[in-house]
Structure 1
Amino acid sequence: MEIRVAGDARIDVLRNDDGYSRAVATVALAEGEVLAPFGARETLSTPNYLTVQTGPDTHILLSPEHLQYINHSCDPNVFFDTTRMEIIALRAITPGEEVQFFYPSTEWTMDRAFDCLCGSSACLGRIAGADQLDADALERYAFNQHILDRLAERLAEAA
């Protein structure tokens, strides 16, 4: 059984009996629509498991705080745009659908790599940050500018 533990008019955070929490949309969203703006309730110079990377050396704890329950998927339906500070729908989302993003789209190196259990046919298996992705994965996903800049630096160094 799940109970609502947080949220707003567009997102509910649900927690099950095992303590697993997830964010679900409470409204229908069209591709490209803004689900939510976000900001920083605190800025750190190093990542932790709750931060979102917004620049080469900036990692934020999300505000509003309930956005931290947007989990990872290798088949994401939202994108954290760290330039505009908005969460954008990558495709149509229906009410009740879990809201998920691709963690390496914001994270160069993650504090805690993990074995992905998203169940997607596109699942990458091990999620450790954009610096660990192969060329195929790099072509398949959208990334924030600070990640694209690091990828360009890496290519320039290899040349």
Structure 2
Amino acid sequence: MWLHPGVEVRHSPIAGEGLFATEAIAEGTIVSRLGGREVTTAELEELFATSDTYVDTITVGPDRHLVLPPGTPNGKGNHSCDPNLWWTDAVTLVARRDIAPGEEVTNDYGTSTATADFAMACACGTSLCRGRVTGDDWRRADLRERYGDHWVPALLLLLG
């Protein structure tokens, strides 16, 4: 796991804690690289069923999911329907546009999950807010157009 040195955890209006830029971050700059343990979909479902804590995960391939270690700053990144980060590969988030000091650093969770039963209410407050983020958001034409090829690779396969 790696997090840009100009990013720190602070109180977030989106979801308790979040990541915030402490300095200007230019478009295209790597902000976060994730790491953890790869599991199958069956193993992930077992983790969800048996864990008494939040399981932070992204889809990284067909039937492959990366489970982030608990308590890492990278795991504090919140969702936004108009994020300032997007994916360049299965584990790397880069600045989608210039990020100002003090701005919350966010990504669109719909671009990193292909789990059909995933759903969460959205509280991002942007003008593009969908109200609900799901594991089927990759099917939305507006998001496919907005993000182009900036999805985790497993979803790029589905996008064809």
| Bin of the TM-score, shorter chain as denominator length | 0.7 to 0.9
Q: Does 1:100 align with 2:106?
A: yes
Aligned counterpart for 1:80 among listed residues 61, 83, 87:
87
Q: State the aligned residue count.
A: 142
For normalisation by structure 1, the TM-score amounts to 0.75
Q: Following TM superposition, where does structure 1 have runs of at least 4 consecutive aligned residues deviating by more than 6 angstroms?
A: none
Structure 2 counterpart of 1:22, from 18, 23, 42: 18
Superposition deviation, residue 133 in structure 1? 3.7
Query: Taking every aligned residue pair, what percent have the same amino acid on both sides?
Result: 35
Could you list the per-position Cα deviations for residues 37-65 of structure 1 after superposition, in whole angstroms to 9, with x for gaps in the alignment?
A: 3322x222235551121112221123682
2:74 aligned partner: 67
- Using a 3 Å threshold, how does the CA distance of structure 1 residues 13 and 105 change in structure 2: closer, same or farther? same
Distance 1:90 1:12 in 2: 18
Whether contact under 8 Å (1:34, 1:88) holds in the other structure is yes
Residue 52 (structure 2) pairs with residue 44 (structure 1): no
Q: What amino acid sits opposite 2:73 in the alignment?
A: H
Structure with higher Rg: it is 1
Larger RCO (alpha carbons 8 Å, 6+ apart): 2
Q: Structure 1, unaligned stretches of length 5 or more?
A: 1-6, 153-159
**Aligned-residue RMSD, C-alpha:** 2.5
Indicate whether 1:151 and 2:147 are aligned: no
Structure 2: 5+ residue stretches without partners: 49-54
